[in-house]
Amino acid sequence: HDVLPYRSGLNMVLLLSLASCPANSSLVEYLKRYYELQEEPLEGRKPSGLSFASKLKEMQTFFRLNATGNLDQDTMQVMRRPRCGNPDSEESSGHTQGAQWHKKVITYSIGRYTKDMPRSTVDSLLKSALSVWARASGLTFVRSHTRPADITVEFVTQEHGDSYPFDGPGGSLAHAFGPGQDVAGEMHFDDDERWTATGTSGSNLLVVAAHELGHTLGLKHSRNPASLMHPNYKVVPSGANLLSREDVSDIVALYHRRHYLSGLFPRIIRNRCAPDVTFDAVSTLGDATIFFKDRCSDDFDRALFYGPITNFMPKIETRIDAAFWVPRRSTAYLIHGNTFLQPRALCHFGFPAWVQDVDAAVHIAATGRTLFFMHDIYWSFNENRRVMDFGYPKYISEDFPALNSTINAAIHKDGFIYFFVGPQVYKYDYANKRVAGVERANSWLGC
């Protein structure tokens, strides 16, 4: 290889003859891709020795190598490792970008799949990767099948339309774009790689996806080799925690610094375990359970975060009377007065004109029905046919014996309907039409 030493003052740098040394050409490409080494404006010119050496030192410093500016064996070993395609350069290497999603519910979708494993396996691994960040951040991730999503997942190869082409097997495994960019939330995996569920004979999709999701949430690369956000791929033992303490600290700093302790909510935080606590509406939303009260919403499945509904669902500034989640549409329906916040009037769903509000609503996925409760009567709506079932409304007491008070909220979980009636919750066995248990509403808040 044609490696020529050159002295400039006290600094030794390397000038590389790219035509005669393919490995050095790869090094230049590496520094251009990940450390913003600038191309020379004139054709045939070699990279500036000072510019090249400074970028090589920057790379060595990032990976905690001896920052000599010389291409030594340790540097070459780091360069050969598979890694994330996002840059490490000084302009991009803080742990957090500052950009973030200004909402707590983030949607995702999956476009082109890899042929290396069944689609159901890809779905499961991505869901597991999302849950890693959900637990740490308090965010809720909901898959969207029909609408544009915040995070989009694609398996692609080579040039694929974002000006960051993949390089075939090895090298760059995947890349992703954070909030606030023109391609915000896009997450691309190189399908020239071999993707596996374990990583024993290829790249572990769970580990790589979790790393790339960190980028879509606003995190940058970390110099810490123990961090999931370290750029180089590493094998993680099955069952091990993917997030380091640093990763957790960084995502908390990014998303919790503005949660949600002002105005009404310090009082609600203090009083959440009061024996008389009640809710206006309760609904599942993906894997989370959301509680609505006054003009605020809480997600108590992830952690105890509180805030105005506008923090949770932008552009919704009113109290919620009823809410329900239809999994097959990945859609949450919120009702205020006689209007669905789509907005559509209740009459569009088959209610008579005299119905001006509902007290509670609950969707039962197994039957495809949504039940609406108002005072002492209820309706059954067929979500598949999009019509109200014949013979309704009925008296609540006919089909739900022992429920003799106005229902404030309802939710279906694990085969039971939970009716929130004042400060109490009735666990109702819908199949056998009996109350299976009674508990206090604040028990759902960990009290």
Question: What residue numbers does the annotated binding site for Zn(2+) cover?
Answer: 84, 160, 162, 175, 188, 211, 215, 221, 229
Q: Is 125 helix (H, G, I), strand (E, B) or coil?
A: helix
For the chain, the distance separating the N- and C-terminal CA atoms, rounded to the nearest angstrom, is 70
* Length, in residues, of the chain: 447
Four-residue CA torsion sign, 233, 239, 244, 248: positive
Q: Whole-angstrom Cα distance, residue 407 to residue 441?
A: 13
Q: Is 303 helix (H, G, I), strand (E, B) or coil?
A: coil
- Stated as kind and residue range, the H or E segment containing 195 is strand 195-196
Q: Whole-angstrom Cα distance, residue 290 to residue 326?
A: 14
Is the distance from CB of 406 to CB of 395 less than 8 angstroms? Answer: no
Q: Whole-angstrom Cα distance, residue 322 to residue 95?
A: 40
**Amino acid symbol at 308:** P
**Phi and psi angles of residue 396, each rounded to the nearest 5 degrees, phi first:** -60, -35
Q: Whole-angstrom Cα distance, residue 167 to residue 159?
A: 9
CA angle 57, 62, 66 (to 5 degrees): 50
Q: Whole-angstrom Cα distance, residue 310 to residue 308?
A: 5
Q: Whole-angstrom Cα distance, residue 431 to residue 417?
A: 10
**212 included as an active-site residue:** yes
List the beta bridge partners of residue 417.
412, 428
Is the distance from CB of 58 to CB of 89 less than 8 angstroms? Answer: yes
Could you tell me which residues are annotated as the binding site? 84, 116, 150, 160, 162, 167-168, 175, 188, 190-191, 193, 211, 215, 221, 229, 280, 321, 323, 361
Q: Which residues of 122-133 are buried (b: 16+ CB within 10 A; e: fewer)?
A: beebbbebbebb
The residue from 39, 212, 383, 398 that is catalytic is: 212
Could you tell me which residues are annotated as the binding site for Ca(2+)? 116, 150, 167-168, 190-191, 193, 280, 321, 323, 361
Q: Whole-angstrom Cα distance, residue 395 to residue 439?
A: 24
Is the distance from CB of 79 to CB of 168 less than 8 angstroms? Answer: no
Q: Whole-angstrom Cα distance, residue 80 to residue 167?
A: 13
Residues marked as catalytic: 212
